[in-house]
Amino acid sequence: MSDMDQEAQRRLWEFTLHEDRLFNERQNLFLVAESMLAVAYTTALVAEKQPVALIIGIVALAVSLMWFYVCARHSRVVELIQTKAKTTFPEYDELTEERKEKLRVLKYPSRWFVAYGVPPAIGALWVALLIVQG
**How many separate domains does the chain show?**
1
* pLDDT beneath 70: ranges in the chain: 1-2, 104
State pLDDT tens for residues 101-126: 777 677 778 888 999 999 999 999 99
Q: Within a domain: residue 72?
A: yes
Has residue 34 been placed in a domain? yes
Q: Is residue 62 part of a domain?
A: yes
Q: Report if residue 33 sits inside a domain.
A: yes
Domain that holds residue 66: 6-133
Length of the chain: 134
Query: What's the pTM value of the predicted model, to 2 decimals?
Result: 0.84
In a domain, 1, yes or no: no
